[in-house]
Each structure stands twice: as structure tokens, then as C-alpha cells.
């Protein structure tokens, strides 16, 4: 079972009529039906011209059709390229072009935006999910499916870098399954679990610690397209949800909503969070007020997915103050020179697509990934993240790289210089603050700066506040001293 198609076939045999996928009000499939429909999707893709090794992008929210489309891509021997639902048309177009995607599976108009219409150009094959059933009619039951090997590339997930240019992180089938199995094993996932997947499928957390973790454990996938507290409370109650991971903001939203008192949350058993500082008081509230028996924190990044994780039975101080111990076959060590967290293991990414220089910069000759995070290990091997070497900050569970935002703002008329840093935010963990030096004689407004970003970047990347200055602090080489800006903020 070292490939996703093989894991899907095993799930059909092992779990059969157990519920696999529930899209309330739309679809309910058991594992046998999930296997059959995914293979039908694969045959339809092949009939449309998709060949082994081709890249197929998927730009849609969490739904049953996202799951079926993704599994169809895997079964066709192609490589999945998920695109963030927060991406603008220009950002999505860049990913399509740089990945060389042969096909695009795309949602219809969603939350007031027509994604397909926003693209500057389109790949040869476009499949609209509103017409998914008609697309499946292309499938021929006699069409053989290709052999997929463990070392074939299963997915390319795009993540920004400190240069502001996104990088395509490549993973093999065996690696995607490896991290999924580790996450599922530590969380104790099984056929009695019903997993509400609010973490986006386009993100490694939603795809590998969500969709694939359910596939290998027999847990039921219950996707939610958009986090909406009343809807989430309804799903927990009506679908008897047992597993609900997410960033701290998710739990804060549930805890603080007045409608919580009228819903039954007694089924909840496992919460897994991370991506931001988690105060001990929040861990206690998740347990005491939401009723989770087990609350875990974890640390990972797209290049490694799940690197460390707490274990059931850990105390509150360990869960709130650390990211747990090594998981998924990873080794963790701290660099003596600068305290950087280094990772090595069989599930480390294959590399960045078409970018050997960035790959060599990130992974040293001994196979250690330089994460850019600073941390320490305690006597039990628990990792605590203390700082970041890179400028990246985390807004609502999503990585934001200031260089990307700064590159966009450099094009705003009236701006001479700009620097962006993350500042604390009670709800989102961190949000962006832009320090702007106007050009002589120019008087840009904060609304103009923020609006300019929102037109060109996903919403979570746009700064929430702007501070205008006559100049920025620099070192002798001309680099902006961002630590001074953070201290000021």
C-alpha cells in the first residue's frame, strides 16, 4: 500500500460498507463506492487526454467532489497540483504556468468569485465541477488504469519563500501516505471516527493529515467548504463528529459563539492544533468546555508536513508549550550555530519543482532540511519553536511571507520603500503591518495600501494596518532592520 491508488483499493477491501465520505445534503459514499467512483474519475481523465506523469491542478473548496477529483487524478497516474481558494486569478495563473499543468479541475462561482473567469489563460483541459457528472460520462469501464509506483510524484504543493516567489514542493506517494499514517496512528483514528475537515484540502494539513489520514485509517471524511461557526456546530451535532483539527482560531470561534449552548458536542474526542502560540488556558477550555478528551499540538511545514507531534496523555504544559516529539520517521536536531530547527527523514520532500538551487539551499548535503525556525529540544525530545530566522509569520493558520507582500507594494504609486512584519493579533495569531515610506510629495492612505494588496493577493496576505514613516532603519549593507520594526510594533 505504498501508493494512494493501492491504499484506496485496500480501504475498499478492509472497510467496505463503512462510511467513507459524507457531504451533508449532497453525497454519502462508503469505501467501496469511493473506490469505484475514484476509478471512474480516473478513466474520464484518461479519456480526456491525461497521461501518467501529467500535472492536473485542482482549484475548489472542500467538497465531496474535491475528494473524488483528487483520488481520480492519483488513480490516473497523474500528479495533483492543488491551488489555494484564497489565490487570485493572477496567482493561480502563475501556478498553472510554472507547474506545466495539462488540466485544471475548477469550482463554479464561489463566494461571489468566478475563478475560471479570473484566469489570464487556461490549460488545454478544463473540467468544471458543476458539470462533473457529465464529465464522468467520458469514462470507459474497459479502460485499464496505469501502474503507479511508490516513488512517483503524487502532489506538488506550492508554498511561498522568503524571496516572495512560490516554490512547488514535490512529494512521492510513499511520503504522502507515510505522514498520513503517522498522523492517524498518533491520533488513534479508526472506523468509528468522523473527521470534520475544515482545514483546506489544498493545504498539506487538509490533504495529508485529513483526506489521506482518513483513507488509511477508515475514518469518515466530512468536508466543510468554509469555516462558519453555526454551520460547524450543526455538523458536529448532526454528523456526530469525533475529530476536529484546526488552528487556534477555530476553537476560539466555537468557544465564544453564543449558539454553542444549544448544540450537542459530546461526540468530540480529538483536537489537533498548531500554527500559532497556544496558551495553556485555551488547551484547558478546549478540554473542559468543548469536551475533547484529547488535545494535541504539532509542528510541520509543507516540505515535511508532520515533523513533530504531542502524544495522547501529555500534560497541558507539554501540549501548550511544545510541538511534541519527532513523528513520521523524522529526526530533529537544533543547529549549534544559530539554533535553527533541522529535519531529516524518509518523508522529507523530494525537492522544489524545477528549482535545484532553492532545493540545495533548503536541504544540505547530509539530507537535513533547514526550516528557518529557531527552537530548542527538552530532555524528552519535545520541540519548542522560539523564533523564526525567516520573516514568515502565520495569519489564521496560513503562512505569509513579507517579501511577497513587499514586492506587490513596490508597484504602488507613491511608495518609496516598504517593509512588512507580523504583529500579534488575538484572533488570528499574527497579522501584517506595513511600514511605508512615501515618495516625496506623495500622501498615500492606509486604505489605499491595504486595498492595493487585496486586489492582488489572497486576503490573509494583505496587511491589516499601515504605519507611514519618513525612513526605515537599515544596517550598514542597506538591509532593513525588521527586528526594530517588530519591537516598535
Which pLDDT tens digit goes with each residue over 369-381? 999 888 899 999 9
User: Is 3.40.50.12780 the CATH number for 4-377?
Assistant: yes
Burial class (CB in 10 A: 0-12, 13-18, 19+), 211: buried
* pLDDT per position as a tens digit, 216-235: 999 999 999 999 999 999 99
pLDDT for position 277: 60
Quick one: which of 209, 384, 215, 386 has its CA closest to 310? 384
* pLDDT per position as a tens digit, 455-474: 999 999 999 999 999 988 97
Burial class (CB in 10 A: 0-12, 13-18, 19+), 252: middle
pLDDT for position 440: 80
Using CA atoms, how far residue 434 sits from 217, 411, 431, 483, in Å, is 44, 14, 10, 14
What Rg do the C-alpha atoms of the chain give, in angstroms? 22
pLDDT for position 414: 86
pLDDT for position 163: 43
Using CA atoms, how far residue 26 sits from 94, 126, 222, 283, 428, in Å, is 33, 23, 11, 34, 31
* pLDDT per position as a tens digit, 124-141: 999 999 999 999 999 999
Taking the model in full, what pTM does it have? 0.86
What does the alpha-carbon distance between residue 152 and residue 141 come to, in Å, rounded to a whole number?
Answer: 25
Q: Given a cut of 60, is residue 153 above it in pLDDT?
A: yes
pLDDT for position 2: 95
* pLDDT per position as a tens digit, 279-322: 788 899 999 999 999 999 999 999 999 999 999 999 999 998 89
* pLDDT per position as a tens digit, 67-96: 999 999 999 999 999 999 989 999 999 999
Q: What is the 3-state secondary structure (H, E, C) of 52-96?
A: CCCEEEEECCCCHHHHHHHHHHHHCCCEEEECCCCCCHHHHHHHH
Q: If you average pLDDT over residues 145-151, what whole number do you get?
A: 98
Quick one: which of 102, 82, 256 has its CA closest to 171? 82
pLDDT for position 160: 57
pLDDT for position 465: 96
Q: Read off the C-alpha cell for 224.
A: 466543510
Percentage of residues of the chain with pLDDT beyond 70? 97
pLDDT for position 123: 97
Q: In the CATH scheme, what is the homologous superfamily, with its name and number, of domain 401-488?
A: ANL, C-terminal domain (3.30.300.30)
Q: Given a cut of 50, is residue 477 above it in pLDDT?
A: no
Q: If you average pLDDT over residues 336-356, what whole number do you get?
A: 95
Residues forming CATH 3.30.300.30 domain(s) in the chain: 401-488
pLDDT range class, residue 387, cuts 50, 70, 90: low
Partnered with residue 157 across adjacent β-strands are 169
Residues 175, 179, 184, 185, Cα dihedral to 10°? 100
Residues forming CATH 3.40.50.12780 domain(s) in the chain: 4-377
The residue among 188 and 403 whose pLDDT is bigger is 188
Q: Given a cut of 60, is residue 243 above it in pLDDT?
A: yes
pLDDT for position 447: 95
Amino acid at each position: 500500500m505504498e501508493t494512494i491508488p493501492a491504499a484506496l483499493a485496500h480501504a475498499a477491501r478492509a472497510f467496505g460498507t463503512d462510511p467513507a465520505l459524507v457531504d451533508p445534503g449532497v453525497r454519502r459514499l462508503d469505501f467501496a463506492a469511493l473506490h469505484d467512483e475514484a476509478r471512474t474519475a480516473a478513466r474520464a481523465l484518461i479519456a480526456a487526454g491525461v497521461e501518467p506523469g501529467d500535472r492536473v491542478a485542482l482549484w475548489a473548496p472542500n467538497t465531496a467532489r474535491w475528494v473524488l477529483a483528487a483520488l481520480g487524478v492519483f488513480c490516473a497516474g497523474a500528479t495533483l497540483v492543488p491551488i489555494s481558494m484564497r489565490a487570485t486569478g493572477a496567482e493561480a495563473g502563475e501556478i498553472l504556468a510554472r507547474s506545466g499543468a495539462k488540466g485544471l479541475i475548477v469550482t463554479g462561482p464561489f463566494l461571489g468569485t468566478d475563478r475560471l473567469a479570473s484566469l489570464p489563460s487556461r490549460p488545454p483541459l478544463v473540467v468544471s465541477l458543476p458539470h462533473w457528472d457529465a464529465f464522468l460520462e467520458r469514462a470507459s469501464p474497459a479502460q485499464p488504469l496505469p501502474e503507479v509506483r511508490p516513488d512517483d510524484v503524487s502532489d506538488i504543493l506550492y508554498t511561498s519563500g522568503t524571496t516572495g516567489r512560490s516554490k512547488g514542493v514535490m512529494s512521492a506517494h510513499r511520503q504522502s501516505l507515510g505522514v498520513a499514517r503517522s498522523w492517524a496512528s498518533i491520533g488513534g483514528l479508526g472506523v468509528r471516527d468522523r473527521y470534520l475537515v475544515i482545514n483546506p484540502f489544498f493545504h498539506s494539513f487538509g490533504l495529508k493529515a485529513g483526506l489521506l489520514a482518513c483513507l488509511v485509517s477508515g475514518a469518515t471524511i466530512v468536508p466543510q467548504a468554509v469555516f462558519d461557526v453555526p454551520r460547524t456546530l450543526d455538523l458536529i451535532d448532526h454528523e456526530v463528529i469525533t475529530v476536529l483539527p484546526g488552528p487556534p482560531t477555530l476553537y476560539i470561534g466555537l468557544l465564544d459563539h453564543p449558539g454553542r449552548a444549544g448544540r450537542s458536542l459530546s461526540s468530540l474526542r480529538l483536537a489537533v492544533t498548531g500554527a500559532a502560540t497556544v496558551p495553556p488556558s485555551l488547551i484547558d477550555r478546549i478540554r473542559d468546555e468543548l469536551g475533547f478528551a484529547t488535545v494535541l499540538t504539532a509542528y510541520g511545514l509543507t516540505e515535511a508536513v508532520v515533523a513533530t507531534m504531542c502524544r495522547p496523555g501529555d500534560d497541558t504544559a507539554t501540549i501548550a508549550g511544545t510541538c511534541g516529539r519527532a513523528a513520521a520517521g523524522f529526526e530533529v536536531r537544533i543547529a549549534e550555530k544559530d539554533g535553527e530547527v533541522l529535519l531529516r527523514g524518509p518523508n522529507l520532500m523530494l525537492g522544489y519543482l524545477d528549482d535545484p538551487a532553492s532545493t540545495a539551499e533548503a536541504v544540505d548535503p547530509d539530507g537535513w532540511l533547514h526550516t528557518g525556525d529557531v527552537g530548542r529540544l527538552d530532555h524528552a525530545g519535545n520541540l519548542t519553536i522560539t523564533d523564526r530566522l525567516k520573516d514568515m509569520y502565520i495569519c489564521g493558520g496560513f503562512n505569509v511571507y513579507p517579501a511577497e507582500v513587499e514586492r506587490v507594494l513596490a508597484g504602488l504609486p507613491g511608495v518609496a520603500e516598504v517593509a512588512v512584519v507580523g504583529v500579534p493579533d488575538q484572533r488570528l495569531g499574527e497579522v501584517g503591518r506595513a511600514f511605508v515610506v512615501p515618495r516625496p510629495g506623495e500622501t498615500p492612505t492606509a486604505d489605499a495600501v491595504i486595498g492595493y494588496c487585496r486586489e492582488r493577493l489572497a486576503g490573509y496576505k494583505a496587511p491589516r494596518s499601515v504605519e507611514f514613516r519618513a525612513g526605515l532603519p537599515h544596517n550598514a549593507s542597506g538591509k532593513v532592520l525588521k527586528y526594530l520594526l517588530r519591537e516598535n510594533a
